[in-house]
Structure 1
Amino acid sequence: MSKSLSTNGSVSEPLRSSEDENEDPSESSASEAFRKILMSVGEAGKYQWKAFFIASFCGMFFAFNSLAAAFLAATPDFHCRFQSLNNTDLGSNLSWHLDEDNFLNLPKCDYFNVDFLNISNESSSNFEEHDDNLVKETCQSWVYDDSVYKSTIVTEWDLVCDRRWMMTSAQATYMGGVLVGAVILSELSDLYGRRTIVLISSVGFTVCGICISFSRNFFMFITLRFLVACFGSGMFLPNFVLIMELVGEKARTTMGMLYQGFFGVGFCLIPAIAYYIRDWRNLQLAISIPSTVLLLYFKILPESPRWLLSQGREEEAVKILKEIAKTNNQNLPEEKELHQLMSRIRKQTHSSKNILGKIANFFKNQAKLLKTPNMRRRCLIIYFSWFVVSMIYYGLTFSGGNINASVYLMVFLSGVVEIPSYFLSCLTIKKFGRRINISFCFIICGIACMLILAVPKDMVWLNMTFASAGKFFNSIAFGVAYIYSAELVPTTVRNIAVGTSSMWARVGSMLAPFIVDSLGEVHYAIPSTVFGILSLMAGFLDLLLPETGKIPMPETIEEVEAMDR
């Protein structure tokens, strides 16, 4: 008998017989027990699809806030505000400040304090050489071009020049919030349930999102964005785990990939919304108020019966299983058989629920994930894959400025290529499996990113084509990573493993804006080259992982270690 059964003590002992002693370990595992229950009540019927749409539509609102920084924190053209130009019409009176490409060449961060209106075109380009008495001064205020953006946090709080790092940090701190939510709220959902944490997170997400519009300063803005990201992660990840625990192995592929679909829809909608709402406060309100629909979760979101059984809450689990069977026009197993199956899943020991206990439990689970050879190999490779896929996902999306592309168009195209990638992956992942799919997509994405290095910056459409191709295959890899990471680890640590994987993804996405902004200033193709190299590395490492598509999800670490790799 497997260890998961023997730990059930006297409850399991009556089930043992001479036939049981010779049965295959996989047949006696908790994962096999729950699979049999799902086969009886329906593995992918009406109930599961209903739960799927209920759980997954939160992704659209999560996408709104995850990508909003491209517009909320956009930096328009700007120049120093000079005392001598206070009453000057820049367009009509300062045309001599346009270079041959019609770009303004007025100073941006520091300037020589002279009367610009009295300088001729010739002298303006040469006066520095002829006057040694000129004093360079640092700009204290700026004039911003409002032809594209009516207002952004950059124009409102002057996040330019020596304060430019604050603009970059707006997205980085958001991803920091996603990281914190992935670790802490994922751990709490293992303790208190998927539904409980999603309900709390949906309230926090909605309230904080609306409050962002009324931020009085930059610190208040990034603090509220941090909380929105934290609560958004607290909805998105536990809801994903909930769906994975409600369906059979055949439906995991389809639902796991399509779960990202609503995020893709939000990806496409946010540039359209931002295009018509050019004021950042109004834009934030426009993407936050609709999220109040998430409060319907209090009425319609179910709990995971698999989690309830693992916590020994059998009555609640049976109630949900009966509802699943009724909706799917199926029947529960016979009472005796159901009792035997549930006894295999029942968890006798419960995690400590005090604060110190939660912290200790987190590090204890981390140690479990890395202690044994197979688990260590699986976790380290999938962590690196998540780190890379998320960095490239957001890096390519926000890289429009580096290749002279419109941010509205670049974000829109990134979303457009994402949606068909999910449907295509549903077909290819069934035929070729998880391992080959994620490896192939990483490699092709890496090649597409590397090709940008060979294309001149002024060939905008060709660069956008390579960037979009990279984003297409990166999106497939991202979707497969969600499924793969959930299937590679056992139920007892699955949520914390998915949460830790997402944590590494957020580290990658936190670094993405700094790579795009800082390295992009040196050369437009350096960010894409970095993304390409990392993607190729991830693709080859993923070949060392096992295929998981045609086996039940493991319940214990012992089951994982009994496998080849």
Structure 2
Amino acid sequence: MEEVKKEINLDSILESLGPYGRYNLLNFVLLLFPILLSSFFECGFIFEAQELAYRCEVDGCELRFNDTSWIDYAIPTDHVRNKPESCRMYIPLNSSEFQCMPHNFDLNRTMECDRYVYEDEHSLVKEFNLGCQEWKRALVGTIHNCGMFVAMLFTGAISDRFGRKMAVGFAASTSFIFGFSRAFAPNYLVYVALHFLEAAFGGGLYPSAYVFIIELVGLKQRVIVSAMCNMTFVIGVVLIALLAWVIDSWRTYILILYCPALIVVIYIWFMNESGRWLLSKGKRDKAVSVLKKAAKINNLDPRKLELDSLGDPLLKVESQTTDKKSQLSKAIRSSIIWKRLMICSFLWMTCSLVYYGLSINSVSLSSNRYVSFMLVTLVEIPAYIVVVIVLDKYGRKQTLVATYLTCSLMSLLFAFLPRNDYWSIPLYLVGKWSVTLAYSSVYIYVSEVFPTNMRQTLISMCSMAGRIGSLIAPMTPLLSLYHKSMPTVIFAAMCLISSTLVLMLPETRNMRLPDTIEEAEALSRKRTKN
């Protein structure tokens, strides 16, 4: 049975508190730090298990010190890369006096080798002897993203049931425990198992912190705050490339990435819970207390915000309804919510596949993989600046359609035009810029079409579908072995489909966040009336 009570207009109160007052700025800093760390945890594997040059070890030839001229007649040349082949060597002839000379090898026949000489002594590939097992190296990213997929199954439930603060603290704690332990993995199996566990339990760090931040501000600040989150993530990814460039040992690299998570574990418990979440759970007293603290920190009089009257015991009720379970049953029965969930999930999957696919494949754009990776990452910053302007000016739908179509076109041009530094790299960068803008828009858009009391759960379901894309992304470089353009053609097709699906969703520009299923469904009805 529903009971009508005086409603707290939270968006109005948040506007009155001032979106950039001391309270919000302090919380932004504290929550942007775990978002920075989430970039370490989500993208660190790209350099942690990066590709490494190696060749066969040839008995009797390796002791010739700095003289490597024998490689020309002991190991066949890979004419595509213009380097010695990694996995094959010419068959050595039986000879009592093997001198590593041309006549000691059968230059018409080759054999697979079982021992390798690696370019980097401190690489994971060398330490776990993954030579000619490229699938094992590529599997690291897929296993990590499998863990992220699992994380989405319960991250939303933790956040919506126990609070945003609990979700962030849990994700940071488990990331530290399993990530730190991975630096001491004795073998490949233990290493990938810890990779999975770290992602499975800590993979909800970004979405939990993101939802926490979004609920701190009113509707006018949602876009710019989201852009701040995304730019923080980009800064973290650039730091990863710089760190990998400087640090030789993969174990030291992991320790530096994961140790800062302990800082988040310590301070998160001293933060205030999201007032919007408290209201959605009927914890009106606690919500008013949080808002009063915010007003005090911002040097505002709570009476001017009508917080004292809102805290009256006569008005203490659940924010919208006394039946908490009814919202879940309504969501299950709502065809509008189901359609919205399916479409948003596909949009998210497209963004994940293309975004991570372009990032991973970027290391082959030029001779310096770190510079290539940083270029493809830094191009995201202009996208986050542009998104602040276009989302509020042109709306969510027009922006998404335009960015998906642009990414599709750039990917097709890159795939079929002759490779040339004058246009290949610019096309690639524009494609990455477009999908970054789309990804940022999708994150904002999805948070606006679902109700507060189920927002984190439904966002997690969309993000879980998105993880299917990030599961496939680490394997896309292997597709280029069959045809160099295959990965980018797949990216183009996904973006084209997504641009069409966006047209079936409502516009949410300048609309307050829906708190109930009814308010979320009303977005579609408003579109129909308009």
Query: What displacement does 1:348 show?
Result: 3.0
| 1:262-305 deviation line (CA, Å, top 9, x unaligned) | 11101111111111112211211222223333234335432111
| 1:146-295 equivalent positions in 2, closer than 5 A | 146=120, 150-161=121-132, 163-295=133-265
Secondary structure of the corresponding residue to residue 138 of structure 2: helix
Distance 1:259 1:102 in 2: 39
Secondary structure of the corresponding residue to residue 60 of structure 1: helix
| 1:275-424 equivalent positions in 2, closer than 5 A | 275-298=245-268, 300-330=270-300, 331=302, 332-333=305-306, 335-337=308-310, 339=312, 343=317, 345=319, 348-349=322-323, 369=331, 371-403=333-365, 405-424=367-386
Aligned twin of 2:400: 438
Return the match for 1:526 from 483, 486, 500.
Answer: 486
Distance 1:106 1:264 in 2: 36
Secondary structure of the corresponding residue to residue 438 of structure 2: helix
Larger mean CA deviation between 444-453 and 306-315 belongs to: 306-315
Distance 1:543 1:298 in 2: 40
Secondary structure of the corresponding residue to residue 259 of structure 1: helix
| 1:129-186 deviation line (CA, Å, top 9, x unaligned) | xxxxxxx65432211123xxx422222112243x322211101111122222222122
Query: Contact 1:369–1:379 at 8 Å: present in 2 too?
Result: no
Aligned twin of 2:44: 68
Q: TM-score, normalised by structure 2?
A: 0.89
Distance 1:348 1:90 in 2: 79
Query: Contact 1:42–1:324 at 8 Å: present in 2 too?
Result: no
Distance 2:226 2:85 in 1: 52
Aligned twin of 1:554: 514
Aligned twin of 2:102: 120
Larger mean CA deviation between 400-409 and 270-279 belongs to: 400-409
Larger mean CA deviation between 267-276 and 93-102 belongs to: 93-102
Aligned twin of 2:2: 8
Query: What displacement does 1:43 show?
Result: 4.9
Distance 1:460 1:342 in 2: 65
| 1:491-534 deviation line (CA, Å, top 9, x unaligned) | 121111111111111110010111222x1111222101111111
Return the match for 2:464 from 477, 483, 503.
Answer: 503
Quick one: structure 1 residues 286 and 90, their matched pair in 2 at CA, closer, same or farther if it must change by over 3 Å? same
Aligned twin of 1:108: 87
Query: What displacement does 1:119 show?
Result: 5.3
Structure 1 runs of 4+ aligned residues shifted over 6 Å read none
1:427 correspondence with 2:421 = no
Distance 1:446 1:327 in 2: 48
Secondary structure of the corresponding residue to residue 40 of structure 2: helix
Q: Which amino acid aligns with 1:172?
A: T
List alignment gaps of at least 5 residues for structure 1: 1-6, 16-27, 129-135, 352-360
Distance 1:165 1:375 in 2: 39
Task: Give the number of equivalent residue pairs.
Answer: 515
- Structural RMSD (CA): 2.8
Larger mean CA deviation between 426-435 and 200-209 belongs to: 200-209
1:50 correspondence with 2:26 = yes
Query: Contact 2:356–2:473 at 8 Å: present in 1 too?
Result: yes
Query: What displacement does 1:545 show?
Result: 1.5
Distance 1:533 1:399 in 2: 17
Distance 2:407 2:67 in 1: 43
Query: Contact 1:209–1:228 at 8 Å: present in 2 too?
Result: yes
List alignment gaps of at least 5 residues for structure 2: none
Quick one: structure 1 residues 168 and 347, their matched pair in 2 at CA, closer, same or farther if it must change by over 3 Å? farther
Q: Which amino acid aligns with 1:62?
A: S
Q: Which amino acid aligns with 1:241?
A: V
Larger mean CA deviation between 298-307 and 430-439 belongs to: 298-307
Distance 1:127 1:119 in 2: 15
| 1:247-276 deviation line (CA, Å, top 9, x unaligned) | 111111111221112111011111111111
Larger mean CA deviation between 329-338 and 549-558 belongs to: 329-338
| 1:309-348 deviation line (CA, Å, top 9, x unaligned) | 2223233222211011223333241544555876461553
Query: Contact 1:180–1:503 at 8 Å: present in 2 too?
Result: yes
Return the match for 2:505 from 545, 548, 555.
Answer: 545
Q: Which amino acid aligns with 2:450?
A: V
Aligned twin of 1:21: none
Secondary structure of the corresponding residue to residue 339 of structure 2: helix
Aligned twin of 1:24: none
Aligned twin of 1:18: none
Distance 1:212 1:57 in 2: 22
Quick one: structure 1 residues 431 and 87, their matched pair in 2 at CA, closer, same or farther if it must change by over 3 Å? same
Distance 1:526 1:84 in 2: 42
Query: Contact 1:397–1:410 at 8 Å: present in 2 too?
Result: no
Query: Contact 2:152–2:203 at 8 Å: present in 1 too?
Result: yes
Query: Contact 1:37–1:341 at 8 Å: present in 2 too?
Result: no
Q: TM-score, normalised by structure 1?
A: 0.84
Aligned twin of 1:132: none
| 1:81-102 deviation line (CA, Å, top 9, x unaligned) | 2333342447533252585798
| 1:343-375 deviation line (CA, Å, top 9, x unaligned) | 461553456xxxxxxxxx9xx95x865642322
Aligned twin of 1:356: none
Query: What displacement does 1:124 show?
Result: 6.2
Identity, % of aligned positions: 26
Query: What displacement does 1:111 show?
Result: 5.9
Q: Which amino acid aligns with 1:155?
A: K
| 1:23-63 deviation line (CA, Å, top 9, x unaligned) | xxxxx8x6x73334434544553322321221122122221
Secondary structure of the corresponding residue to residue 423 of structure 2: helix
Secondary structure of the corresponding residue to residue 399 of structure 1: helix
Distance 1:164 1:370 in 2: 44
